Amino acid sequence: MEKPVDLQHLCEEVCRISREVGKFILLEQKRLSDQSIESKGLNDFVTYVDKAAETLLVSELQALLPGSGFLTEEKTVAQQEAELVWIIDPIDGTTNFIHGLPLFSISIALAFRGKTILGVVHEVSRDECFSAIEGGRAMLNGKVIQVSERSKLSDSLLVTGFPYKDEGRLEAWMQLFITLLRKSHGVRRLGSAAIDLVYVACGRFEAFYEYGLSPWDVAAGAFIVEQAGGLVTDYQGGPNFVYGKELLAGNGRMNEELRGVILEHFAR
């Protein structure tokens, strides 16, 4: 397949689709009961809403780009290899979603031959649609955004996620958390990696770090950070952050310092 010519139009359509599906998700959040929640593993939950939202997204995106493949969290569609692949998390922040909290998002990336060329993260409750296309600037609801200009870790607000499936490295992770609390304005934990990333992209946070994330959590948000002028790497400073399960995203002005602190606590 060829790379789509009009990425701008495609991106607008993806925002439109995620807004439609977002309305469905918000309505269903009010109807959720304990019976709607299934466990996929330790502290790993899914509801019929995650699956139904994914099915809706897949059918709309299939119609938008016939022949494209899919890599999706809930596996409601065959995970085909293709030159163009949609990487989708229908609800990033499911634990927040099932507890009635407003912080969750739809995350959609499009990769061409393995490289992200379009990213959309829709923060559903606030109707904030973050987006970017290859060669373009990062946007929030149609307005250009960029990473913050703060350059000192001591002036920064950071965000992270706590490991809840792999507890093997929890203590080292918490020590790192304590160290960074002391060095910054604070470290938040929002519960949606995709939102964490796009909040870096628009300058609300200086940096985000987490480990154990999956491609559907990060592909769209990390691309939006890059297009907003930020820097995203794995903990070795390399580019393996979509599939490598280690990610540090920041405004680029303190990434090296932060990477050093992470490695002090968290060397492989």
Neighbours of 23 (CB within 10 A): 11
Distance CA 134, CA 224 (A): 10
One of 28, 54, 92, 123 touching ligand IPD (CB under 6 A): 92
Q: How many residues sit in the footprint of Ca ion (CB under 5 A)? A: 5
Do 158 and 181 touch, CB atoms closer than 8 A?
Answer: no
| Single residue of 69, 119, 161, 230 touching ligand IPD by CB under 6 A | 161
Query: Which amino acid appears at position 236 of this protein?
Result: Q
* Cα distances (Å, whole numbers) of residue 89 to 72, 100, 121, 158, 187: 6, 19, 10, 23, 24
- Considering only residues 40 to 79 of the shown chain, the ones binding ligand IPD according to CB under 6 A are 73
Residue 18 touching ligand IPD (CB under 6 A) = no
- Give the interface segment with ligand IPD, choosing from 9-17, 29-37, 205-213, 254-262 (CB under 6 A): 205-213
Binding mask 168-197 toward ligand IPD (x if CB under 6 A, else -) reads -----------------------xxx----
Nearer to Ca ion, 107 or 233 (CB): 107
Looking at residue 222, its amino acid is A
Size of the site for ligand IPD (CB under 6 A): 14
74 or 206: CB nearest ligand IPD: 74
CB 203 within 8 A of CB 251: yes
Residues 217 and 194: their CA atoms lie apart, in Å, by: 6
What is the DSSP pairing of strand 246-250 with strand 44-47? unpaired
Nearest distance in Å: CB 73, ligand IPD: 6
Residue 80 buriedness (CB in 10 A; 0-12 / 13-18 / 19+) = exposed
Whole-number minimum distance, CB 7 to ligand IPD, in Å?
A: 26
Q: Which stretch binds ligand IPD (CB under 6 A): 28-36, 89-97, 172-180, 260-268?
A: 89-97
181 three-class SS: helix
* Candidate list 73, 123, 226, 246; residue touching Ca ion; CB under 5 A: 73
User: Quick check: 267 and 211 in contact, CB under 8 A?
Assistant: no
Binding of residue 28 to Ca ion (CB under 5 A): no
Residues of this chain that interact with Ca ion (CB under 5 A) are 73, 89, 91-92, 217
Residues lying near ligand IPD in the complex (CB under 6 A): 73, 89, 92-95, 161, 191-193, 210, 212-213, 217
